[in-house]
A and B are shown apart, each in its own frame.
Chain A
Amino acid sequence: MIEVKNMDKKYGTNKVLDNVSLKIERGKVTSFIGPNGAGKSTLLSIISRLMDKDSGQVFIDGKELEDWDTKELAKKISILKQFNHINIRLTVRDLVSFGRFPYCNGKLTEEDWQQVDEAIDYMKLKDIEYKYLDQLSGGQKQRAYIAMIIAQDTDYILLDEPLNNLDMKHSVEIMKTLRRLAEEKGKTVLIVIHDINFASCYSDHIVVLCKGKVVEKGGADDILREDLLEKVYELDFCIKDINNNKICLYY
């Protein structure tokens, strides 16, 4: 379980996280939504030790973040950020094999390669596994990065806007994969997402952040309420039930 207690974070004088406390259940898909600048990405970055917090605590499986050995933690939690720009020429297979680094320190054993193959199959990358990353489309690249995360085989998977720049087909594919990861492999998936309808259809829990505070958390039914979303986004919302999913219109 991931537990966040009284977390504060400031950029200069700008408070991005204001006394945030949260518990994230294992084996579920949890989405973080909220307007730009609400502190979603910052929260994920702090949980995954990419950023330092100002005060508060993060517990991962009951142990405080600072007490974890960084290599051990890399077997527990992984993060994929929005901007993945790299300067080196890598094939998809090379990239995925990096996911095994925490286990074998770069010297991949037979078993590690098996995991790499599995991850490649899982993301349906078999036919492009020897292609270079710079030859791939945005969707394929995103899938390759997710395959690396799968090869890393961590209990917690954090993704910062995984649907950024993807079309509907690829977005749906990615979200379905994340659901499968939670259901079949028991992974705990945390995503920052902007499309509320995707969050509604594919996540078990939704956390709404606004101005650095947790406004509301719960299932899709609790969150997709016109009054709540109108307050958070300052837009007019119209929420409908379609095929047992709450879908909102705000265009």
Chain B
Amino acid sequence: MKLKGKLLFLSIILLVLAALYLIWGLNPDNLDYALPRRVIKLISILMVGSCIAFSTTVFQTITNNRILTPSVLGLDSLYAFIQTFVVFLLGSTMLANLGGDINFILSAGLMVIFSVVLFKTFFSKEKRTVFSLLLFGVILGTFLQSLTTFMQVLMDPNEFFLVQNRMFASFNNINTDILYIAVLGTMVTLIYIFRYTRELDVVSLGRDSAISLGVDYASFVKRMFIVISILVSISTALVGPISFLGLIVVNINRQFLNTYKHKYLIPGSMLISSIMLLGGQLIAERIMNLKTPISIVINFIGGTYFIYLIFKEGRLS
């Protein structure tokens, strides 16, 4: 099978990169110190890569649009808002006392409720497209961002520093408290989605065809929205918002695999995403010696690719 071969190829690249990441620069003196830290970082990178790829693939399928990422729903902004709001209202000690997992469950819960409310309000049988939902998501996201900035301006500089630390995507500052929950959450959602890969294939034909073929569209899309918000919460809580990664990864993946089957698309996108993150982290950490944050590497590649996509779509139509 050709597609399986491609997936195998990606897996091998990922394994090589992972081995390189663990072994590079290791010697008997720093083994005890470096290895456990590197393993934790590696797991986080794989988690974040998978969550982003996974949520973006599903999101693009249910919106039937190849240039959207879940960040247009305003979920990242909501996360930033929640973090800032807690610190603003209760102080940074409270955030520390709260413990990482409670903070995570709280944020994730709010994000899920947010997307369900957004969904219920803007996506019924009458309002047939997701565009009003997306538009509202964008507006609300901007609104939350402004509120966040407003609170940050009023904040004590030390507390602001703490909040800011959480807002930038960085694998040198992984929120390890929640790694277990994150792994568990990702696994459960993955297993849940893998039962629905064929429904996703049908949904990519569009709403009308999907309903005609017997998919309970409204309920299916709602469930997918919940799954997406859980995954976005996990990746955002782990390392902070990385908006562009999903866009590059999913489009490279679709071009590389050239299939419509989510059975292959989802694992493919997860592998490519992990490869890009791990490669980016290797460049940023070992070659650039941490002088360049990984988010800059990713956003630079992402931005370039995005412009290329727009030009390509423009030439086609």
Binding site for B on A (CB under 8 A): 48-52, 70-75, 77-81, 84-90, 94-95, 98-99, 101-102, 105-107, 152
Contacts and interface: CB of A to CB of B under 8 A. Distances in A.
B216 interface: yes
A90 B258 CA distance: 9
Given A84-B206, A86-B205, A95-B205, 11 more contacts: A70-B214, A73-B214, A77-B212, A79-B208, A98-B202, A101-B198, A102-B213, A106-B198, A106-B201, A106-B202, A107-B198
Interface of B: 64-66, 125-126, 197-199, 201-202, 204-209, 211-216, 258, 260
> DSSP majority for the A interface?
loop
B215 to A, nearest CB: 7
Contact of A48 (B126, B197, B212): B212
16 contacts: A50-B208, A50-B212, A71-B214, A72-B214, A74-B212, A74-B214, A78-B212, A79-B208, A79-B212, A85-B206, A87-B64, A88-B205, A89-B260, A94-B260, A98-B201, A152-B213
B65 A87 contact: yes
Nearest to A78: B212
Contacts of B216: 70
A192 B201 CA distance: 28
A153 B317 CA distance: 35
Contacts of A52: 125-126
Contacts of A75: 214
Which of B197, B206, B208, B216 gathers the greatest number of chain A CB atoms within 10 Å? B208
The 7 A-B residue pairs whose C-beta atoms are closest, nearest first, are A74-B214, A106-B198, A71-B214, A102-B214, A88-B260, A81-B208, A101-B213
Contacts of B209: 81, 84, 98
Contacts of B201: 98, 106
Task: With a 10 A CB-CB cut-off, give which of A48, A85, A86 has the most chain B CB atoms.
Answer: A86
A86 B208 CA distance: 11
Contacts of A70: 211, 214-216
A90 B214 contact: no
A191 B204 CA distance: 25
Contacts of A88: 204-205, 260
B64 A86 contact: yes
A92 to B, nearest CB: 13
A13 to B, nearest CB: 14
B214 A101 contact: yes
A237 B29 CA distance: 96
B146 to A, nearest CB: 33
B212 A86 contact: no
Contacts of B66: 87
A94 B205 CA distance: 11
Nearest to A88: B260
A200 to B, nearest CB: 28
A51 B125 contact: yes
A85 B209 CA distance: 11
Nearest to A104: B198
Contacts of A77: 212
A227 B89 CA distance: 76
